[in-house]
Amino acid sequence: TIFFVGDEVSEYLVEWSRISWDSFSPTVFEINLQTSSGAGGSSALGTLSGSFQILFDTTASSEAVASGSYVSAAIPVDVSIATLKIILENIPNVGEVELHSPQPLTWRVTFLTELGDIDMTLADNQVIDESCLHRFP
């Protein structure tokens, strides 16, 4: 007996190219959070809180599978690589990404399935630099 779990497949996507996929260079962006004084990495740990959102725009790309301009869910500053991967891959015009964090509060995002003219920008910034907050007794 074979059991299937999940929804039925109602559509699918076939991708092909006349050029070897090995000929394409992946698009890489780096997300780097810094304090208002420019401190980043481990120097900024514990001083930043809140979240941010990223806008991913593929409207100028003729190769995009899903053309459009979409905003991610809120990304907390202390996001794990696994959670950031899920958030980014849930954006409608983003396929598969690979993530690397060379230091705290920095993520290198490699888009493995998007080709052509793509743009990633900050859509909403709710990051708070707590080192700039004045606390009154």
pLDDT tens string 21-57: 677 778 889 999 988 888 888 888 888 989 999 999 9
Confidence of residue 1 (pLDDT cuts 50, 70, 90): low
Pairing of strands 27-32, 106-111: antiparallel
Of 78 and 20, the one with more pLDDT? 78
Residue in this structure with the two tokens 């907390």, named with its chain if needed: 76
| Contact predicate 120/31, CB 8 Å | no
Confidence of residue 109 (pLDDT cuts 50, 70, 90): very high
Quote the pTM value.
0.77
Give the span between the Cα atoms of 90 and 87, in whole angstroms.
5
Helices marked H in the chain: 81-89
Whether the pLDDT of residue 137 is over 70: the answer is no
